[in-house]
Amino acid sequence: MKNIVLFGPPGVGKGTQAAFLKDLYKLTHISTGDVFRNNIKNNTPLGILAKSYMDKGNLVPDEVTINMLEEEVNKFPNTNGFIFDGFPRTTSQAKALDLFLNAKNTPIKAMIALDVPEDILVKRILNRGLTSNRPDDQDESRIRHRFNEYQTKTAILIDYYTAQNKFYSVNGVGSLEEITKRLIKVFEAF
């Protein structure tokens, strides 16, 4: 099993690149943001709860997110592996993921971070907001708040995976194809 965490701040291109990589390596892509948005679309209790956090750019509480992620993973018992996109985002989530996957004997192989300067990201997200229909993409102060959540709660995970010798970083500025090629190089290395 090749379980990968695709990592980086909002707007860095995780979802776009995961879509290429999952086809190439026959992996299952789980984006916790997408799962939440599907729940919002279907007006489920989980969606209503998640929306109250997401619209403001806040993280959804760990317990809710971890339970949801584990349910998603359990839907694919025969997969070659997972690309996790947008999860984990806190140390509690990373620890829960390790416990959960280690119990299945399918640990995380690597965390690959996409690296892009913040000013480029704000422009990318505002641009995406023109068509994404996402309230959290349409307002610069909410976008800045999401970066703040990333800096204060999520960026620390670089240390968490570095300590396990699983951290890789890829330059996320360039054409889609160039960035995919850089990711493939890292994928082929383990």
Binding site for ligand AMP (CB under 6 A): 10, 32-33, 36, 53-54, 57-60, 65, 86-87, 89, 93, 136, 146
Q: Which residues are catalytic?
A: 14, 89, 128, 134, 146
| CA pair distance 14, 172, nearest whole angstrom | 9
Nearer to ligand AMP, 57 or 129 (CB): 57
CB of 37 to ligand AMP, least distance (A): 7
Nearer to ligand AMP, 93 or 180 (CB): 93
Nearer to ligand AMP, 33 or 172 (CB): 33
CB of 189 to ligand AMP, least distance (A): 25
